[in-house]
């Protein structure tokens, strides 16, 4: 899928890509080594997406949407739950009974989070946003994803300004680790 457009279009494209990764991993037989590769790609996409939302989307929700603080806090709590599962998934191998259970649990949590964003949060932000904000946020989210971490860091800050300061450094270290290990490389 192509990326671009306003923040809602960008994040919705991410959501569909994550859906496709869940389908790929669950279509493979349990214990297939390719599940690890897809789980790594899923982790990379979810972490980058979450970091970008926390840095740019949720601050806008807090500023422009009625009850935006409560909405943003709920979404950040969802991210924290997903990140804890991703961290646990890192230490599992396909064929390990915990691997399949975590993938199923992760899919359930991510699907509920995506549905909430697309059905509630995105329309509220679209209605409340001043002209040009959604396009500007789309650019910022794309930029943040390029430097974001690729591995879960559950103890890292998830709100500005600390997250905006820490994420690029963690992202650089993660990408170096990925480069040396071949993790996330799509052949």
- pLDDT tens readout for residues 168-186: 666 666 666 767 767 777 6
The DSSP 8-state label assigned to residue 172 in this structure reads H
Please give the average per-residue pLDDT across 95-113, as a whole number: 95
56-64: average pLDDT: 97
Taking alpha carbons only, the member of 88, 81, 83 closest to residue 102 is 88
Give the span between the Cα atoms of 111 and 32, in whole angstroms.
24
Residue 80 pLDDT exceeds 50 = yes
User: Which of the four pLDDT bands, split at 50, 70 and 90, describes residue 68?
Assistant: very high
Which domains does the chain carry? 7-179 (1.20.120)
Backbone φ and ψ for 22, nearest 5 degrees, come out as -60, -45
Q: How far is CA 20 from CA 34, 51, 113, in A?
A: 15, 20, 16
Q: Which residues contact 157 (CB under 8 A, 6 or more apart)?
A: 163, 166
pLDDT at 183: 72
Centre a 10 Å sphere on the Cβ of residue 34 and count the other Cβ atoms it contains: 13
- CA 183, 170, 52: angle at the middle one, nearest 5? 90
> Is the pLDDT assigned to residue 95 strictly greater than 50?
yes
Average pLDDT over residues 7-25: 97
Higher pLDDT pick, 151 / 48 = 48
Report the distance separating Cα 37 and Cα 35, nearest Å: 5
Q: In angstroms, rounded to a whole number, what is the distance separating the alpha carbons of residues 79 and 90?
A: 16
pTM: 0.89
What's the pLDDT tens digit per position in 110-149?
A: 999 999 999 999 999 999 999 899 999 999 999 999 998 8
Max intra-chain CA distance, the chain = 50
pLDDT bracket for residue 85 (50, 70, 90): very high
């Amino acid at each position: 899928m192509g990326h671009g457009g306003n923040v809602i279009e960008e994040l919705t494209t991410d959501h569909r890509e994550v859906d496709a990764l869940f389908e790929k991993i669950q279509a493979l037989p349990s214990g297939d080594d390719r599940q690890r590769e897809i789980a790594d790609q899923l982790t990379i996409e979810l972490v980058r997406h979450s970091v970008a939302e926390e840095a740019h989307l949720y601050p806008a929700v807090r500023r422009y949407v009625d009850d935006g603080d409560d909405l943003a806090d709920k979404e950040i709590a969802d991210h924290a739950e997903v990140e804890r599962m991703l961290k646990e998934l890192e230490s599992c191998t396909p064929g390990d009974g915990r691997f399949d259970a975590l993938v199923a649990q992760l899919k359930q949590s991510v699907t509920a989070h995506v549905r909430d964003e697309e059905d509630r949060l995105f329309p509220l932000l679209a209605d409340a946003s001043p002209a040009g904000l959604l396009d500007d946020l789309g650019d910022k989210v794309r930029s943040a994803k390029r430097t974001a971490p690729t591995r879960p860091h559950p103890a890292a800050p998830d709100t500005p300004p600390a997250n905006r300061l820490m994420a690029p450094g963690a992202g650089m270290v993660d990408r170096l680790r990925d480069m040396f290990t071949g993790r996330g490389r799509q052949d």
